[in-house]
Structure 1
Amino acid sequence: MQADPTSHRLVVLGAGVMGSSIATMALGHGVPVVLVDIDEDTLVHARATIDRQLRHARLMGALPTDRTPGELVTTLSSHDADVTAVIEAITEDPALKAKALAEIGALIRPGTPVISNTSGIPIDELAEALPRPDELIGTHFMNPAYLIRMVEVIRGPRTSDTTIAALMSLLDTLDRKAVVVRDSPGFVTSRLLHPMINDAARLVDEGVASAEDVDTLMRGCLGHATGPLRTADMIGLDNLVDALDVLFERTGNPAHEPCDLLRRKVAAGDFGAKTDRGFYEYGKALA
């Protein structure tokens, strides 16, 4: 039996693409959310994005019909410690994540799980920033989090059984299925997906095939749902380059070093769907 969703109250740190998507998922399942960001305009944009995503999720049948949506509070400060869990979803920068985790860790009550939605930074590395490292656990929600039910959960070497149990209770309320993996740079999904995207971009840069043809072959021949380069646009090419840099720095594997085409696109501000242009062009920017 699932817990009463109002028994949970989340803080989500970061109101960008993933933070907004995670907030949508939680709100749609009846869980109250405090969404924190350092920029007021970002929070205003996030509210509009979340409203749109909730409508989309309902149309897709991705939300329970018997729950009242949770209350959304947006704020510039992480001052409210009366929460049952924190989900950190800021940019994939180890120093920035460590700073945010240290700040929230000093505010929340002992026993509150802190969940980092990193796509590749080792959890034990981030745990150094917390006053209670055993309360940190990793989750890798896929974008869009409000539609994709499978979640990669990363247990660090210091993550406690209590933290694992608290996260599983939350994921059950959110109707998510979890696969728990051990801590490692990139874990499973990013370690496999990101080098594939990198190689796909290299093929385009070398003139072997267009982005459309690469994705068509991967969908038609290998059963990839969207194709690696369309997936890259949804992830955000800026986020992808950051994640590949993390993998390259921590593994030394040259397959993880972002290729020239990815770096050129990011330098030009072509981040993917959220900026209207990446490997494809989009009629309306997505948040």
Structure 2
Amino acid sequence: MKTIAVIGAGTMGNGIAHVFAQKDFKVNLIDVSSNALEKGISTISKNLDRMIAKGTSTEEEKANTLTNISTCTSLKDGVTNVDLVVEAASENIDIKLGIFKELEACCAEKTILATNTSSISITQIASATKRPDKVIGMHFMNPVPIMKLVEIIRGYSTSDETTTAIMGLSKQLDKTPTEVNDYPGFVANRILMPMINEAIETLHHGVAGILEIDTVMKLGMAHPMGPLQLADFIGLDVCLSILNVMYDGLKNPKYAPSPLLVNMVMAGKLGVKSGEGFYDYSGNKKAEKISAQFIKG
């Protein structure tokens, strides 16, 4: 595989484009919004600058990485004759089914279709195509340039050949691919999201405050960041979406999202991306101040 198309220039999409381009793959970064594409390239450039400052990259490698990325607002133009498509659009089944239906019509027969979904059924996504054997989950962790894990999820009809190819490709990116089965939430989020949800419930019931909950998990469980800060980083809307997928798919009340989480998402308090979640990010992206709504509470 030499040519990759990445659909979606948001946090995950630009990170995926970054790691492929850095390993000298030719990448078409696709988004319907030209502004999103500009922001995505800017983010990649800033992340490369951080790597240069840390001594893990060079100006020459940065220039080469950026040269390897082309941007496109047309899905059809961006996926023609590529070896692999990695879809990193919103965590919404209807959006993903629409994209994969279009990919089936636009992509060459050889093209493998991967999705970066963090919870939605690969088998269901593959049903929008006539090549379910070539559809696979390739769930990168955030931030993509730093995190080593890639969950590789086989749908019901995903072939051994496709799985082997994607496992090998992940290793070419210096990632650690881990094969899991196609159940709601897979492994990472099936374990992580109930923990985050329980932390939100703990706050909701007044057992402890935001800093106290995060401090207990950081110092008591050796987590690099607390679950509430992590939820802000992931995006509270994404957390809610994943919990809903697991609740609907597994019919188990333990996956029902906390009412506090639901209310925060409805209020537009989504975490870092909106400037406020459990913490206030209006000045910078560090969780240094508790959100005003919780100070008042």
TM-score (norm 2): 0.88
C-alpha distance after superposition, 1:73-107 (max 9, x if no partner): 11111123121111011111111101111111221
Gapped regions of structure 1 (runs ≥ 5): 1-6
**Per the alignment, in what secondary structure is the counterpart of residue 106 of structure 1?**
helix
Q: Which moved more, 1:95-104 or 1:35-44?
A: 35-44
**What are the residue-to-residue correspondences of 1:154-165 with 2, within 5 Å?**
154-165=153-164
- What is the match of residue 198 of structure 1? 197
**What are the residue-to-residue correspondences of 1:68-217 with 2, within 5 Å?**
68-69=64-65, 71-80=68-77, 81-217=80-216
Q: Percent identity?
A: 38
Q: Which moved more, 1:12-21 or 1:56-65?
A: 56-65
**Per the alignment, in what secondary structure is the counterpart of residue 75 of structure 2?**
coil
Residue 63 of structure 1, CA deviation: 5.8
**1:173–1:65 distance in 2 versus 1, CA, 3 Å:** farther
- What is the match of residue 32 of structure 1? 26
C-alpha distance after superposition, 1:132-157 (max 9, x if no partner): 11111112211101100111111112
C-alpha distance after superposition, 1:197-233 (max 9, x if no partner): 0110111111111222111111111122212111111
Q: Which moved more, 1:248-257 or 1:277-286?
A: 277-286
Tell me the amino acid that sits aligned with residue 271 of structure 2: G
Structure-2 separation of matches of 1:61 and 1:198:
38
Higher relative contact order (CA 8 A, sep 6+): 1
**1:120–1:24 distance in 2 versus 1, CA, 3 Å:** same
Q: Is residue 171–residue 177 contact of structure 2 (8 Å, CA) maintained in 1?
A: no
Q: Is residue 152–residue 167 contact of structure 2 (8 Å, CA) maintained in 1?
A: no
Tell me the amino acid that sits aligned with residue 255 of structure 1: K
**Per the alignment, in what secondary structure is the counterpart of residue 195 of structure 1?**
helix
Q: Which moved more, 1:59-68 or 1:135-144?
A: 59-68
**1:24–1:253 distance in 2 versus 1, CA, 3 Å:** same
Tell me the amino acid that sits aligned with residue 2 of structure 2: H
Residue 34 of structure 1, CA deviation: 0.9
**Per the alignment, in what secondary structure is the counterpart of residue 25 of structure 2?**
coil
Compare the two structures and name the one with the higher helix fraction: 2
- What is the match of residue 11 of structure 1? 5
Q: Is residue 113–residue 166 contact of structure 1 (8 Å, CA) maintained in 2?
A: no
Residue 60 of structure 1, CA deviation: 4.8
Gapped regions of structure 2 (runs ≥ 5): 287-297
C-alpha distance after superposition, 1:156-201 (max 9, x if no partner): 1211122112212321221111110111111111111011101101
Q: Is residue 155–residue 182 contact of structure 1 (8 Å, CA) maintained in 2?
A: yes
**Per the alignment, in what secondary structure is the counterpart of residue 180 of structure 1?**
strand
**1:265–1:56 distance in 2 versus 1, CA, 3 Å:** farther
Aligned residues: 280
Residue 116 of structure 1, CA deviation: 0.7
Tell me the amino acid that sits aligned with residue 76 of structure 1: T
Structure-2 separation of matches of 1:242 and 1:86:
23
- What is the match of residue 292 of structure 2? none
**Per the alignment, in what secondary structure is the counterpart of residue 195 of structure 2?**
helix
**CA RMSD for the aligned pairs?**
2.0
Q: Which moved more, 1:123-132 or 1:64-73?
A: 64-73
